[in-house]
């Protein structure tokens, strides 16, 4: 009886130890971080790249003469921009929207550029306006044909060049953005940002 | 001892070779590392807003003072034009600025005695009024006497009251389209020439010579049925009885009538038989008279078979007749 209980106790202890060991493997840890902090893990396109691109484009767009020239020629009225297509020409997944939205925020919040809804966004607006013509009261109805036409369209692309040897890799991203006059097709502003990353995957590291 | 030496040498050689093909470590100094911080966008936006606000406020003040002066000195239709945003003849420089909702920052002003010329300061950013993009405003004794607009077909100058009307604008646009059509025709691009003449006819429906040009273009493009209709329309629209052979213009018109009549006969004969394939040669056009400018108005009865004439000379006649 005593022998049996000793064996059972040993088994229970072993099982408990195994369970604790397994639980220890699942050491999930979540911490909140400052979004402005640089954190590079894999070397692929990440939030830091997006932020750097947005910052560079914001600085370049307000540094260029296109807004001041337009405003001076139109008695202080700001130019109107529509966001066109930004293409990702890399093999990697690059979410374009993050830095484009940052740029849009800078345009609107600075008060120096007016922004109109893009092609995708305005479809919903027009549907709603159409619906109002039937269902909304006359005094609250949004009128048709009062949209603002854009003066310029923002377009751009992201391109990447990779170079790898063994466990080392260089990734180069070039982000080009430009504003095109919708009437004359003239490019009135070109912004550019380049990112070069060195990725070294050593076998042993400290 | 000997063996140990050999092994040592082999190992050294192996290490040396391995070192040659070793990783080429990049020794560039990093510009950003984990833990660094990126610049705050809010600060950048606030800076841009502050810069923009000061410039906009200055421009708005300047524009407002121009408006005040412009409205204080305006009367009647000029006041209405300012409100509507249209430049009109007789305005002062301030009133022209007010009509385009601009301030002096938008213009380069040059003065010479009584003449003043205002041109946009920034190319590609020309001020606009309700009519279009303004490229030059001219004043005589501080009163606007001509304004030029950049239109699709070129520059349009408004220097008289008739030019400012809708009809005047349509006529100017039609003339520009006809010029463009003539250029395409001269370059041998008949499809585009026909397109321009067609568009011009929509704006200038009473131009019968345009109808004749369109008929000729259709004829040259081997479209006999349409050409026939156009020739007929050209002839119908002319009040032939009223045309007298007085002066060169009527003589040229009479020449065009005669040619259209002859061509109509040819086309009627052609269309009575199966329509030719597009790769077939076009039917020859009538030969102009030796001195068509002085030709009498009496209808010319030219035998159909002898109507071999270069097309260009025919078109030149039609253009001259205009």
Predicted ipTM?
0.79
Domains of chain A: 43-158+175-191 (3.40.50)
Interface residue of B32, B48, B61, B133 to substitute, partner A, most A CBs within 10 Å:
B48
Indicate yes or no: CB of A37 within 8 angstroms of CB of B36.
yes
Q: Are residues B139 and B216 in the same domain?
A: no
Domain for residue B228, yes or no?
yes
Domain for residue B297, yes or no?
yes
Q: Are residues B66 and B156 in the same domain?
A: yes
Q: What is the pLDDT of residues B205-240, one digit of tens each?
A: 888 889 999 999 999 999 989 999 999 888 887 765
CA distance to A177, B176, B201, B210, B233, per residue, from B206 (Å) = 50, 16, 8, 9, 12
> Is this prediction's pTM over 0.80?
no
Domain for residue B87, yes or no?
yes
B219 in helix, strand or coil? Answer: helix
Name chain B contacts of A38, Cβ cutoff 8 Å: 32-38
Q: What is the mean pLDDT of residues B281-291?
A: 45
Q: Are residues B129 and B217 in the same domain?
A: no
Element (H, E) at A54: helix A47-63
For residues B214 and B195, the answer to whether their CB atoms sit within 8 Å is: no
Look at residues B77, B66, B146, B140 and name the one whose alpha carbon lies nearest to residue B106: B66
Interface residue of B53, B59, B98 to substitute, partner A, most A CBs within 10 Å:
B59
Q: How far apart are CA B47 and CA A139, in angstroms?
A: 40
Residue ending a domain, choose from B135, B163, B191: B163
Domain for residue B174, yes or no?
no
Q: What is the pLDDT of residues B305-315, one digit of tens each?
A: 333 444 445 44
For residues A181 and A197, the answer to whether their CB atoms sit within 8 Å is: no
Reported confidence tier of residue B302, pLDDT bands at 50, 70, 90: very low
CA distance to A33, A40, A46, B140, per residue, from A29 (Å) = 13, 18, 20, 80
Q: What is the pLDDT of residues A135-188, one digit of tens each?
A: 999 999 999 999 999 999 999 999 999 999 988 999 999 999 999 999 999 999
Q: Are residues B150 and B219 in the same domain?
A: no
As given in the structure block, the two tokens for residue B187 are 């370059």
Domain for residue B191, yes or no?
no
Q: How far apart are CA B174 and CA B201, in angstroms?
A: 7
For residues B210 and B182, the answer to whether their CB atoms sit within 8 Å is: no
Indicate yes or no: CB of B38 within 8 angstroms of CB of A165.
no
Domain for residue B137, yes or no?
yes
- Range(s) of the domain holding residue B264: 207-321
For residues B97 and B107, the answer to whether their CB atoms sit within 8 Å is: yes
Domain for residue B72, yes or no?
yes
Q: Are residues B72 and B150 in the same domain?
A: yes
Q: How many domains does chain B have?
A: 2
CA distance to B117, B176, B320, per residue, from B151 (Å) = 20, 10, 26
Does residue B29 sit at the A interface (CB-CB below 8 Å)?
no
Domain for residue B190, yes or no?
no
């Amino acid at each position: 009886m005593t022998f049996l209980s000793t064996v059972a106790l040993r088994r229970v202890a072993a099982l408990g130890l195994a369970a604790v060991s397994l639980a220890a493997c699942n050491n999930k840890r979540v911490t909140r971080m400052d979004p402005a902090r640089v954190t590079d893990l894999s070397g692929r396109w990440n939030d830091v790249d997006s932020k750097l691109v947005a910052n560079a484009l914001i600085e370049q767009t307000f540094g260029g003469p296109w807004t001041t020239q337009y405003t001076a020629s139109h008695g202080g009225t700001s130019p109107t921009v529509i966001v066109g297509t930004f293409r990702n020409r890399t093999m990697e997944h690059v979410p374009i929207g993050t830095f484009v939205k940052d740029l849009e925020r800078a345009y609107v919040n600075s008060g120096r550029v007016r922004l109109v809804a893009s092609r995708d966004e305005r479809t919903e607006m027009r549907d709603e306006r159409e619906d109002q013509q039937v269902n909304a009261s006359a005094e609250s109805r949004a009128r048709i044909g009062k949209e603002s036409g854009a003066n310029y369209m923002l377009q751009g692309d992201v391109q990447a060049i990779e170079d790898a040897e063994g466990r080392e890799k260089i990734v180069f991203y070039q982000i080009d953005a430009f504003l095109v006059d919708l009437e004359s097709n003239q490019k009135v502003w070109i912004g550019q940002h380049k990112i070069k990353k060195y990725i070294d995957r050593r076998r042993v590291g400290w | 001892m000997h063996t140990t030496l050999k092994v040592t040498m082999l190992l050294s050689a192996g290490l040396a070779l391995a070192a040659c093909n070793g990783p080429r470590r990049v020794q560039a100094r990093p510009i950003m590392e984990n833990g660094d911080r990126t610049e705050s966008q809010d600060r950048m936006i606030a800076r841009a807003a502050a810069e923009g606000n000061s410039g906009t406020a200055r421009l708005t003040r300047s524009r407002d003072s121009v408006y005040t002066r412009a409205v204080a000195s305006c009367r009647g239709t000029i006041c209405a034009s300012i409100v509507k945003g249209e430049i009109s003849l007789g305005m002062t420089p301030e009133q022209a600025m007010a009509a385009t909702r601009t301030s002096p920052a938008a213009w380069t002003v040059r003065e010479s005695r009584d003449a003043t010329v205002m041109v946009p300061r920034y190319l590609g950013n020309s001020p606009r009024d309700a009519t279009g993009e303004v490229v030059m405003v001219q004043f005589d004794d501080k009163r606007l006497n001509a304004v030029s607009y950049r239109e699709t077909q070129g520059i349009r100058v408004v220097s008289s009251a008739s030019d400012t009307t809708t009809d005047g604008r349509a006529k100017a646009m039609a003339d520009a389209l006809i010029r463009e059509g003539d250029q395409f025709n001269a370059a041998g691009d008949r499809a585009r020439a026909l397109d321009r003449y067609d568009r011009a006819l929509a704006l200038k429906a009473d131009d019968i010579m345009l109808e004749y040009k369109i008929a000729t273009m259709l004829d040259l493009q081997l479209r006999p049925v349409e050409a026939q209709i156009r020739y007929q329309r050209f002839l119908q629209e002319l009040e032939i009885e009223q045309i007298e052979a007085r002066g060169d213009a009527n003589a040229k018109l009479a020449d065009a009538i005669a040619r259209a009549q002859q061509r109509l006969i040819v086309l009627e004969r052609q269309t009575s038989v199966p329509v030719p394939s597009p790769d077939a040669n076009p039917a020859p056009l009538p030969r102009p008279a030796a001195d068509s400018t002085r030709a009498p108005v009496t209808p010319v009865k030219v035998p159909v078979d002898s109507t071999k004439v270069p097309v260009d000379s025919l078109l030149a006649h039609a253009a001259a007749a205009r």
